[in-house]
Amino acid sequence: MRTVLVNCRMVDGTGAAAISDAAVVVEDDRLAWCGPARDPGRPPAQAGDTVVDLGGLTVLPGLFNVHVHLGLRLPFPERRADPFTPGYRVMLNYRRALEAILAGTTSLRIVGEPYFTDIDVREAIGRGLLPGPRITCAGHALIATGGHGHNSVGCLEADGPDAFRRAAREQLRAGADLIKICLTGGIGTPRESATDKQMTDDEVRAVVEVAHSAGKRVASHTGGDRAVGDAVRLGVDCIEHGYSFGDATAARMAEAGTFLVPTLCVTQELDYMRRHGVQEWMLGKAKAAAAEHLASITRAAARGVTLCVGTDLLPSDPVDGTVATIREVELLTRVGLSPLEAIRAATASSARLCGTDRITGTLEAGKQADLIAVAGRPDERIADLREVRLVMKAGAVYRSRVDGVPDPGLDRLGAAMAGGTFARLW
Ligand SMILES: [Zn+2]
């Protein structure tokens, strides 16, 4: 079955300028062709084509959110305790994955969940058992005993290279796509600073060796110039948060090709935290880190480090009049990225980080038809990304406000979907 999207603009995700009059040909689950509507290479119309007039909307690749905890619960408990059973958590995580895609986030990278619930959700969606976004995931986050996230059931404590090796192998055995570690303290755990180093070099090296031997990447929750520099030197592939680091370290990240997921929402959206009852100690830490976080990420952007889009918050959480994923893309324009570069961070760059760039992340013939259409010109005014009118993954429509494209009504299931149901839905 072929659907031809016409009368639209197209931003392909590579950073290239928008095509002002584009056509996008979707055949079954794939993009059969896309480009300028008058391109001589455009395939001729066929009997049975469904032609959809998008009325000037801009088509982009589906967005990524590459730092997600679908079991997120705020305020964070100060000690480890889980009110949920593993089965309930799977359902909660699935529900939130579905909300994410309805809000335009077609790919997720999950970086710390208990009981391998992330892997269960990935499998159920990947096998076509249930509709949902593409997922790559880490299983548990690996931490030192008493380290960052010890108050969360999604973190697994280990000590010494052997124990970290074993913990990493356990995640791989369960089917993890990457390994997540917490090299330093952070904001969501009491009695630690975001720049405290909590893992030794030997422990980091052990995890990197195990992951790389299996062809997987290592993502490290890291704050502080010394720790970020150590992570890069030890072969970590991606820095998560990067709360503070200097220009020389930014240059080393760029040179090493280390990815950076800034999660600016964590330090820039304090109203969100207040609304969700976050304790004073956590608010104070986020506030204290905010300016330096922004400055550090600005240094990284200026040095050409590859930035990606991740939020820690649920992708569909309402933040500042939009949803978390889109708010984070907007925040990237505050650290020096152009709107086109911010869109590339949320699409092509994030796909590269996830290792799914051969099938998604840009609009190119042969890739999966993962796309959104928005009203306006987000490549010129990033806030136009808020106006999502169509969400498609692998050629299937998840949400439509476009004439001629029936809305499947997924957002009417269960509680009313208004771009996130975070606080109310347990
Ligand atoms: Zn996180």
CA of 180 to the centre of ligand 1 (A): 10
| Cα 124 to Cα 144: distance, rounded to the nearest angstrom | 31
Cβ atoms of residues 61 and 107 within 8 Å: no
pLDDT per residue, tens digit, the chain (426 aa), is 899 999 999 999 999 999 999 999 999 999 999 999 999 999 999 999 999 999 999 999 999 999 999 999 888 888 898 989 999 999 999 999 999 999 999 999 999 999 999 999 999 999 999 999 999 999 999 999 999 999 999 999 999 999 999 999 999 999 999 999 999 999 999 999 999 999 999 999 999 999 999 999 999 999 999 999 999 999 999 999 999 999 999 999 999 999 999 999 999 999 999 988 899 999 999 999 999 999 999 999 999 999 999 999 999 998 999 999 999 999 999 999 999 999 999 999 999 999 999 999 999 999 999 999 999 999 999 999 999 999 999 999 999 999 999 999 887 765 555 444 544 444
What is the whole-number distance in angstroms between the Cα of residue 372 and the centre of ligand 1? 26
Q: What is the Å distance from ligand 1's center to 137 Cα?
A: 12
- What pLDDT score was predicted for residue 76? 86
> What is the Å distance from ligand 1's center to 218 Cα?
14
Distance, CA 28 to ligand 1 centroid (Å)? 35
Domains and CATH numbers, the chain: 2-61+362-409 (2.30.40.10), 63-354 (3.20.20.140)
Residue pointed to by tokens 């395939």: 43
Amino acid identity of residue 123, one-letter, is E
Q: Using the mean position of ligand 1's atoms as its centre, give its distance from the Cα of residue 311 in Å.
A: 8
- Interval between CA 348 and ligand 1 midpoint (Å): 21
**How many whole angstroms from 74 Cα to the centroid of ligand 1?**
13
Q: Residue 261 Cα, ligand 1 centroid: separation in angstroms?
A: 10
How far away, in angstroms, is 256 Cα from ligand 1 center?
A: 23
* Res 416: pLDDT: 54
Tell me the CA end-to-end span of the chain in Å, nearest whole number: 39
How many angstroms is it from 18 CA to the middle of ligand 1? 33
C-alpha 69 – ligand 1 centre gap (Å)? 6
Distance (Å, rounded) from C-alpha 143 to C-alpha 68? 17
Contact 300, 260 (CB under 8 A): yes
| Residue 149 CA to ligand 1 centre (angstroms) | 9
CA 338 to centroid of ligand 1, rounded, Å? 26
**Cα of 365 to ligand 1 centre, how many Å?**
34
Per the confidence metrics, is the pTM higher than 0.85? yes
